[in-house]
């Protein structure tokens, strides 16, 4: 299993969500999250890590699987962000990666993942659906 940075939408968008799901899991983005956050800072847009949140249900399930009782814990609420904010970050970071290809181990997969994220966030923005990034284990 590898770590990936996925987009979670407040509600699914028919077509756009399916197209995003068909794209390769953004493992390259997760591997280079610190560099992508640095790129965002250089471009004066919010960092990817500032948009990270977890589904409360998924967090509770993980805690139960690890032997904890989530009802006895103060879990953070799931945070949602305007898609336009994520869209600005994705576009600016994609421009940075294109400018500095040699600074990244796998720039092509990152750019492919950023393009898929841009398409999904643009569809979400068009209909007012909020999002957050989620860290997930994928095959």
97 close to 114: Cβ distance less than 8 angstroms: yes
Residue 9, beta-bridge partner list: 131
Structure tokens at 89: 């970050």
Task: Give kind and range of the element (H or E) at residue 13.
Answer: none
Distance (Å, whole) CA 71 – CA 27: 32
pLDDT for 18-54, tens place per residue? 778 776 667 888 889 999 999 999 999 999 999 999 8
In this prediction the pTM is 0.86
pLDDT for 103-138, tens place per residue? 998 899 999 999 999 999 999 999 999 999 988 877
Helix (H, G, I), strand (E, B) or coil at 52: strand
Q: Give residue limits of the domains in the chain.
A: 2-138
Structure tokens at 46: 């919010």
pLDDT for 54-68, tens place per residue? 888 777 888 888 888
Does 1 have pLDDT greater than 70? Answer: no
């Amino acid at each position: 299993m590898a770590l990936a940075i996925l987009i979670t939408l407040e509600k699914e968008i028919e077509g756009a969500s399916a197209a995003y799901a068909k794209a390769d899991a953004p493992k390259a983005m997760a591997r280079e999250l610190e560099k992508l956050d640095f790129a965002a800072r250089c471009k004066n847009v919010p960092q990817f890590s500032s948009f990270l949140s977890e589904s409360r249900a998924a967090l509770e399930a993980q805690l139960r699987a690890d032997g904890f009782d989530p009802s006895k814990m103060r879990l953070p609420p799931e945070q949602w962000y305007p898609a336009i904010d994520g869209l600005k970050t994705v576009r600016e970071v994609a421009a940075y990666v294109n400018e500095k290809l040699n600074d990244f181990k796998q720039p092509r997969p990152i750019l492919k993942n950023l393009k898929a994220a841009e398409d999904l966030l643009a569809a979400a923005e068009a209909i007012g659906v909020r999002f957050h990034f989620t860290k997930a284990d994928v095959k």
